[in-house]
Structure 1
Amino acid sequence: MFKLVTWNIQSGRSPDGKTDLDRIIACLDRFCSFDVLCVQEVSSGYAPGLDDQFAMLRQRLPGYTGISAIACDTVSPQGPAAMRRRFGIMMFSRHPVLHALRHSLPWPAEPDVMSMPRAALELTVAAPGGLLRVASVHLEVFSQRQRMAQVERLRELHREASLHARCAPAPGHGPFAAPPRAMPALLAGDFNMLPGSPEHQRLLAPFGDGVQPWRDCWQLAQPGRRHAPTVGLHDQNPDATAPFTFDYVFASADLAGRVRRVRVDASEQGSDHQALLVELE
């Protein structure tokens, strides 16, 4: 089985307000042994503390190739003048990573809405069942307009990668040598959208040009069942809303028959989000 886990670790901050990356790793160890891990909200130079969580996670996950995509990169108002604040996503693979691409996602101007730059990270992994394209994302939370624009960009990127995977690469050397991009694909992360929302429906829409559409892995593995919530299960605020779903894994349609299991780690409290596991045969 190929196992992928996605988790918004919220910079290691748990519902009790404490920041502890070691607790994040302990939660993952109890959850499962994974082939690929996608984590969102990794930070460096932000309070509390100024820790470089990108480096810390690499140290805590030996045996994995760790690759990052920085969405926010700014001068820090704290600490040394040369220090920068960084915020983004990471992916870890126990299998060879043949290709890595970092994509900036749209950030339409909305002066009255709090928002931040967003990014997607795409890897081509030499998985045991063949080449696999895996992407991780963290979409905008406060702006539906921005989130929809980011969904459209994810669709464009999937189409582009699929067309690259179809055609024979042109000969080239050095950076012009064509890197592999696999047709079968997984798309994972914190999408900040509800099941059945316009953004969710748009992401799953057909392409009409032979490109394999995205399928929701939860719906593939547990058809007819309501999505298990991934946010707010352990919220200690008495005024909190009921738990809901923001975290997903999507599979290209050519992988749909290989999706065997989807599970939310509902017991752990390392973050306000819960880790989500997808298993492929």
Structure 2
Amino acid sequence: MRRVGMLLLVMVSFLFGAPAGATPAPPPVTLRVLSYNIHTGIGTDGVLDLARTAAAIRGTGADVVALQEVDVHWAARSDFRDQARDLADMLGMRAFFAPIYDLDPLTPGAPRRRYGVAVLSRFPVLHTENHEITRLSTQDPDPAPRPMPGFAEAVVLVRGVPVHVYSTHLDYRPDPTVREMQVADMLRIMSDDRGPRLLLGDFNAPHEAPALAPLWTVLTDAAPGGGTYPAQAPTTAIDFVTVSDEVRVRSASVPETLASDHRPVLAELSVPR
């Protein structure tokens, strides 16, 4: 009789929901994320203005931001400033910077010159890693594809939920060969992780590009429905927020701003606990 009673309880739960007194499943958490190629803080007017970049980010209300084209003591174009730290300070966020290039300073005793991608977060960051993917260097006179750093991963604790956030900047050249390698590398790295995963960045190719096709077998494009480049009058969407299967996209948009030569992509997500 006890077994019959248990079977009846399972059937009732299946048909009518959990029995009275059962603990309901916790609600999902809401997360606002932004992907933004900041063009080292230089706007469409050719003026360096990192405060303007910060204002553009602040206006979106984003909790987590994936940045591309970030200078850290890199060159005169950005006043040799640490842009990742400066933006984090202006926004009251935590920063993880992942250099693609890490070069000797121009003058002895100066900080190393670095350029790459970053993740900013309002939430605690549990773990960070700068992964290698295939790249064709812009700093070598005779480059060949090889593993290089600059694929950023930050595990962000969003109201008790660990979320893997990746920031990437894929190859810009018309030949898609290196991008195809980079997509394969990123998918391999991401496959080692479990739970909610968000891949954000400048892919330098539109959604329908064959080089990106493998991404859509495991990730969903937030698909805001607007172009991101060039910022003045976008003709193509090459900047992305993409999510793993368990994450739901509640809304997505392309905020209008001329603080960079790209427009950012903003998405509001629902992440299960």
TM-score with structure 1 length normalisation? 0.76
CA deviations 1:121-169 (Å, max 9, x no partner) are 11222113722111111111114211111100011012111xxx3xxxx
Separation (CA, whole Å) in 2 of partners of 1:84 and 1:140: 24
Give 3-state SS (helix, strand or coil) of 1:200's partner. helix
Aligned residue identity for 1:148: E
Shift in CA distance, 51/92, structure 1 to aligned 2, threshold 3 Å: same
CA deviations 1:27-83 (Å, max 9, x no partner) are 1222x2111011111102213232221332232122x22111011011244x44644
Separation (CA, whole Å) in 1 of partners of 2:249 and 2:53: 26
| Contact persistence 2:240–2:265 (CA under 8 A) | yes
Separation (CA, whole Å) in 2 of partners of 1:100 and 1:89: 13
Shift in CA distance, 34/66, structure 1 to aligned 2, threshold 3 Å: same
**1:156-235 matched pairs, under 5 angstroms:** 156-161=188-193, 165=194, 183-205=195-217, 213-218=218-223, 227-234=225-232
Separation (CA, whole Å) in 1 of partners of 2:150 and 2:83: 17
Shift in CA distance, 278/129, structure 1 to aligned 2, threshold 3 Å: farther
Residue 93 (structure 1) aligned with residue 97 (structure 2): no
Aligned residues: 235
Residue 264 (structure 1) aligned with residue 269 (structure 2): no
Residue 132 (structure 1) aligned with residue 160 (structure 2): no
1:3 equivalent in structure 2:
32
- Equivalent of 2:153 in 122, 135, 140: 122
Aligned residue identity for 2:216: L
- Equivalent of 1:253 in 239, 245, 248: 245
Residue 54 (structure 1) aligned with residue 44 (structure 2): no
Aligned residue identity for 1:97: V
Shift in CA distance, 246/153, structure 1 to aligned 2, threshold 3 Å: same
Q: Unaligned regions of 5+ residues in structure 1, if any? A: 166-182, 206-212, 236-241
Shift in CA distance, 98/232, structure 1 to aligned 2, threshold 3 Å: same
Shift in CA distance, 80/38, structure 1 to aligned 2, threshold 3 Å: same
CA deviations 1:209-251 (Å, max 9, x no partner) are xxxx111111xxx6xxxx410011316xxxxxx6211100111
Q: Unaligned regions of 5+ residues in structure 2, if any? A: 1-29
Separation (CA, whole Å) in 1 of partners of 2:143 and 2:241: 27
Separation (CA, whole Å) in 2 of partners of 1:26 and 1:4: 16
1:274 equivalent in structure 2:
263
Shift in CA distance, 83/155, structure 1 to aligned 2, threshold 3 Å: same
Aligned residue identity for 2:89: Q
TM-score with structure 2 length normalisation? 0.79
2:133 equivalent in structure 1:
105
| Contact persistence 2:58–2:91 (CA under 8 A) | no
| Contact persistence 2:130–2:149 (CA under 8 A) | no
Separation (CA, whole Å) in 2 of partners of 1:234 and 1:273: 8
Give 3-state SS (helix, strand or coil) of 1:253's partner. coil
Which deviates further from its counterpart, 15-24 or 128-137? 128-137
CA RMSD of aligned residues (A): 2.4
| Contact persistence 2:136–2:171 (CA under 8 A) | no
Shift in CA distance, 269/203, structure 1 to aligned 2, threshold 3 Å: same
Separation (CA, whole Å) in 2 of partners of 1:140 and 1:159: 21
Aligned residue identity for 1:200: L
Aligned residue identity for 1:69: A
Separation (CA, whole Å) in 2 of partners of 1:269 and 1:262: 19
